[in-house]
Amino acid sequence: MAIFRANDVKQLSDVEIQEQMGKLRMELVQHYGKVSAGGATENSGHIRELRRTIARMLTEQNSRRTA
């Protein structure tokens, strides 16, 4: 899954943000599942980037609600 930067997120519509966030959350759950089962992920920094991307999307959603 692609990592979105703040400018990329601002260009997405509300529906697209919801869809992408759902996909990112599912990917994050899969990575956490591997780690909790005792396995190692290929790229541990990817979990951090997923969390940050989800946070960027949530921030954009909240700013659109208040604006």
Q: pLDDT tier at 6 (50, 70, 90 boundaries)?
A: very high
Q: Which two tokens stand for residue 61?
A: 């959603």
- Provide the 8-state DSSP code for 1: -
pTM of the model: 0.89
Can you give the CATH number for the domain in which 11 is found?
1.10.287.310
CA gyration radius for the chain?
A: 13
Residue pLDDT, tens place only, 13-58: 999 999 999 999 999 999 999 888 888 777 889 999 999 999 999 9
Euclidean distance between CA atoms 37 and 46, whole angstroms: 18
pLDDT at residue 23, rounded to an integer: 96
How many domains, in total, are found in the chain? Answer: 1
Alpha helices in the chain (DSSP H): 6-11, 14-36, 45-66
11 in any annotated domain? yes
Q: Which residues form the domain of 30?
A: 6-66
1 in any annotated domain? no
37 in any annotated domain? yes
Q: Indicate whether 64 pLDDT > 80.
A: yes
Phi/psi of residue 2, nearest 5 degrees = -75, 145
Q: Which two tokens stand for residue 60?
A: 């954009």
